[in-house]
Amino acid sequence: MSRTRIVGGVYTKITGGDYKMYTEGDTIITAAGKNDFANAEKVIFGDKPERYASKNTISNIDDPKTEIDYKFLIYFNRGKEYKGEYGFDWMRREYIEPIEKVKTFDGKKKRTICSNPEKLKEKYISFDRFKIRYYCPWVSIFPSEYPNSPHKEGIDLHIEIFDDFPENKKVKKNNNIKILFESENLDINITSNSEKLNELRKINIRCGEISDISVINVKAILSEGESVKINENIGRLYLYPNKDIKKINLYMINCLINDGNMKILDKKLFNIELEKYLNTYVLNQFLTQCEVKSYEYFDLRKHRNQEGQTLIEKYQLNKEPYVKELKASDNKNYKFRVAGNEIRDIRIFRDDLLSLYETYGNTRLPIRGANNINKFLFFIDIFVQHTEGKERFYLENDIPKIDAIDVDSFAYLITEEPMGNAIITFTKEKLESSTIAHELGHNMGLSHLFSKESEFYFYKGYTDNIMDYENRERFEVTGNTDKNKHKRKSFFKWQWDIIREQMEAL
């Protein structure tokens, strides 16, 4: 028995094996069975209609039923207003085709943003239609009945139509073509703003619990008198299983070094509304929610290490940053901001801080060790530069050198095991919610996209992925960066898999 749900316009749910669907004019359509697709090598994708398809063709493709002469494909788009309200991933053309200029050590050339595109293609389900490759997007949505579900009313996706086929120059577009969105899962409801092709702009997807991967297929129907023509499989969307919503606990620790820290940190954390932000725009993408379990003040002035020192004394944490000026052989003065404290290696400082908290902190849960659902977020209002014991700024052959990394926040280094459950954020410069989201990604098993440890290597600063950086490297000036043109706000579907696989063991 196959089951199909069609919601929108005048179409209703039909149940059965071979079945009949009735249009407003009582036209009968008969359909049955499923379609299998061969693999090929060309691509259609992107966030604008003209970016969806490669013009190169593929030969020897057995297409599904095609009776409407006017050819087109339907694509799902999250829209420019997207901030991370749900999980959505698709194959971007620039990731696997050399269409964007990327600056590296050998100059600025058009390159694929992903350096191993053939491997990346294997991560996405695809099929061939009209002799081009269609890569299917993924969406993750909370069940509408989930307590305080962020998707109680479903989610809206934009619809884009790609019809740039040479054959269409000889065919008149028929305004009576209707679009159907179908799913065999009866817990998925799909409504569109219009069933007419020339008016279709958006669909709303609302669903209950989904135990397995579910599919929304798209078909076109054209009724002309007594005849009905159908184009099957002109688009497809995959829904991620949502029956198992994961949860993590957050423990917020404000580390005080002077009397003014409490108000400063409270204000900064209040402004970013961390729990709401993470649940609405970050964790929700891989069907996870968090809860702040405690909010603690940890006074670094009161607690001493085994050597009898406070961390304030050991690292001179009360010293403010200052400006250092260096004069080069060109008689120009170069100014650099320098951290006043004595933190050189953030890994050593991290271990000192965690040891102190494990001894004197309020929470008696394991911080270091195996990854678990409890995450400890430490906030310290200082400016830190990681130098691993080296001089930060110096002249070498009369050329100013920079040998320091300004650190906003960090969780762990990929070469260190186990990952642990702590994130330390230095808030003197700024406190941004996206920084904490990035570090949580590390804490839950993700590498930088531009890291050799990542499953796929992307050039730094060229994606909207949360595990990318907001800057990209400028290789002609060592240490300088250009801004990433994308706002970091999304995770890839393969990253959802990594995180949830990590959490399965918890």
Q: Tell me which residue of 444, 493, 448 sits closest to 466, measured CA to CA.
A: 448
pLDDT digits (tens, 9 = 90+) for 418-431: 557 899 999 887 78
Q: What is the CATH number of domain 246-446+491-504?
A: 3.40.390
Which pLDDT score, from 0 to 100, does residue 402 have? 53
**CATH 3.40.390 residue ranges in the chain?**
246-446+491-504
CA pair distance 269, 267, nearest whole angstrom? 6
Residue tagged 């799913």 (tokens)? 183
CA pair distance 267, 261, nearest whole angstrom? 10
Which pLDDT score, from 0 to 100, does residue 500 have? 94
Type and span of the H or E element at 442: helix 433-443
pLDDT digits (tens, 9 = 90+) for 294-342: 999 999 999 999 999 999 999 999 999 888 777 666 677 777 788 889 9
Does residue 23 have a pLDDT over 50? no
The one-letter code for the residue type at 110 is: K
Q: Tell me which residue of 348, 358, 255 sits closest to 300, measured CA to CA.
A: 255
From the DSSP assignment, how many helices (H) and strands (E) are in the chain?
A: 8, 30
Does residue 372 have a pLDDT over 50? yes
pLDDT digits (tens, 9 = 90+) for 426-485: 988 778 889 899 999 988 889 899 988 788 999 999 999 999 998 887 555 455 568 899
- State mean pLDDT over 216-244: 95
End-to-end CA distance of the chain: 38
Q: Note the maximum CA span of the chain.
A: 92
Overall pTM > 0.75: yes
CA pair distance 335, 324, nearest whole angstrom? 6
Q: What are phi and psi of 439, to 5 degrees?
A: -70, -35
